[in-house]
Chains A and B, each alone.
Chain A
């Protein structure tokens, strides 16, 4: 399928666990697959004190650059987990996109027009670098990946799962309360359970390649072409990655032969035509088809699916890897509370409903972009082309042009864990279900971004009313600790953006989940409001 010129960091096969003959290892959580999603979940659960076993059949981080566009929300999640700094240091930061029709610039866009956020709109970084940073973080926390340990057998029971694992040194069995499948598109667990994806596979094929070139006239931006002069009648996409490597996606005709299209001489000629010079080398080449598919359910008793094991989208929009990381972010705190006996089983049902809704939104966006890029009939192609022509002349038509709507944080507006607004708020931007917005703040310890203060616990963010007593640093609801973040006491709104973005006025407050989503907000809150909202957010009412 692909070639990869990079020298990959290889890991030795993990030893067999010490198990008595005929016995089985017993752990609360087994994660299958140490890709972006499995590693993110492993780190989050480790930080929450949940013992895990992370199985990976490979001996190295993933092959090829694959998921390169790491979105703002994903970076915020990895920052919360302490894994983002090496990614930010190596990745290419960008926020501007340009869209061309033939050789004419239609428009450009800015994905993060306002300042006052710690994380950029995107960084471009090869997936193997991201995985290596996550592995480093997991190792620093005392965790590990069991390299070359392949999940070979799955036997679900009502309250646990028996798993067979094959390694170069022999086989063993693990019994676990929870099996989280992050193996990806070719999931063994999904096949073993006989679960099928529903959805659509598109006929169009795409050539995806990484080229290394030190000489480049292209800035660190996302450039997308409809019908470019160098690739007649199709689409093309260009992104810069770390190490002077550029990602190029070229649409092929539906009847293109993948084997022929992967031939280096053929790829080289296509790229030379695009770049206008031969000063590049091929790093990685693959051919793929668009798939927009999902499982009907992500939770099957003690087996939970996340990332590409649960859903697939086309890559335009960067919604695959970024959506999978949000799955892990959503699942970790719920699973940790279930295991600790502090949450109801409804918490896990909410993982299913919240993340399936997010996946369906990703699939909808992905399908629309695919349909715009590949009109199915002569008439729909004429309509598409006229939309492109109009976009060059009139700005309103730019809204119709769809070169992939880029990944943003999911708004969990229909979540059963939310407490609906009872007060009027001028903006829906931070309605229950919304991801928290960042803002620069000062704390007694110095400068600190708001999201850094939302560090994996429930948090009550309040603007204290001077006429009332401000609660202590923590309050407890049914054994669940809620951190209190009081404006003026715990954080200073150093740029005025916190109060503006949250519309905070004296007496108002927000309750945020451990994954930094709003679950409730009040113009005037009371401790009873907070208790009720927290219980609902834990699936208890």
Chain B
């Protein structure tokens, strides 16, 4: 968690989420995600994002992290 500690006024629910990147290759992941979305079209993209959310959520598993991630994502949605 070095360099990853909360230093700002983020609400406590999301404060422990990682700020520093944990991606091995962020650009490659982003490009792959865009490619899937663009190939899907709008309706299929929503279905894809739903499935992706559930798959990733299972990989994370930890309830506290999942709920904090929901809060963080909902802040600017």
- The chain A residues found within 8 Å of chain B, CB to CB, are 379, 382-383, 385-387, 389-390, 394, 396-397, 400
Whether B50 and A382, one on each chain, are in contact in the complex, defined by CB atoms closer than 8 angstroms, is yes
Using Cβ atoms and an 8 Å threshold, which residues of chain B touch A390? 51, 54-55
Closest residue of chain B to A380, judged by CB? B50
Least CB distance, A393 to chain B, in whole angstroms: 10
Q: Which 9 A-B pairs have the closest CB atoms?
A: A386-B50, A383-B50, A396-B58, A386-B51, A382-B46, A386-B47, A382-B50, A382-B47, A390-B54
Least CB distance, B37 to chain A, in whole angstroms: 15
Least CB distance, A377 to chain B, in whole angstroms: 11
Using Cβ atoms and an 8 Å threshold, which residues of chain A touch B54? 383, 386-387, 390, 397, 400
Least CB distance, A334 to chain B, in whole angstroms: 34
Which of A379, A387, A389, A394 is B46 in contact with, Cβ under 8 Å? A379
For the complex, what is the distance from the CA of A382 to the CA of B44, rounded to whole Å?
10
Least CB distance, A193 to chain B, in whole angstroms: 39
Least CB distance, B7 to chain A, in whole angstroms: 34
Using Cβ atoms and an 8 Å threshold, which residues of chain A touch B55? 390, 394
DSSP class of A's interface residues: helix, strand, loop or mixed? helix
22 A–B contacts from the bound complex (CB under 8 Å): A379-B46, A382-B46, A382-B47, A382-B50, A383-B50, A383-B53, A383-B54, A385-B47, A386-B47, A386-B50, A386-B51, A386-B54, A387-B50, A389-B51, A390-B51, A390-B54, A390-B55, A394-B55, A396-B58, A397-B54, A397-B58, A400-B54
Q: With A382-B46, A383-B50, A390-B55 given, name 12 new contacts (CB 8 A).
A: A379-B46, A382-B47, A382-B50, A383-B54, A385-B47, A386-B47, A386-B50, A387-B50, A387-B54, A389-B51, A390-B54, A400-B54
- The chain B residues found within 8 Å of chain A, CB to CB, are 46-47, 50-51, 53-55, 58
Least CB distance, A9 to chain B, in whole angstroms: 50
Using Cβ atoms and an 8 Å threshold, which residues of chain B touch A397? 54, 58
Using Cβ atoms and an 8 Å threshold, which residues of chain A touch B47? 382, 385-386
Using Cβ atoms and an 8 Å threshold, which residues of chain A touch B53? 383
Closest residue of chain B to A389, judged by CB? B51
- Tell me which of B50, B53, B55 has the highest count of chain A C-beta atoms within 10 A of its own C-beta: B50
Using Cβ atoms and an 8 Å threshold, which residues of chain B touch A379? 46
For the complex, what is the distance from the CA of A383 to the CA of B50, rounded to whole Å?
5
Using Cβ atoms and an 8 Å threshold, which residues of chain B touch A396? 58
For the complex, what is the distance from the CA of A383 to the CA of B53, rounded to whole Å?
9
Least CB distance, B39 to chain A, in whole angstroms: 17
Using Cβ atoms and an 8 Å threshold, which residues of chain B touch A382? 46-47, 50
For the complex, what is the distance from the CA of A396 to the CA of B46, rounded to whole Å?
21
Using Cβ atoms and an 8 Å threshold, which residues of chain B touch A389? 51
For the complex, what is the distance from the CA of A378 to the CA of B61, rounded to whole Å?
26
For the complex, what is the distance from the CA of A389 to the CA of B47, rounded to whole Å?
10
Using Cβ atoms and an 8 Å threshold, which residues of chain B touch A387? 50, 54
For the complex, what is the distance from the CA of A394 to the CA of B57, rounded to whole Å?
14
Closest residue of chain A to B48, judged by CB? A386
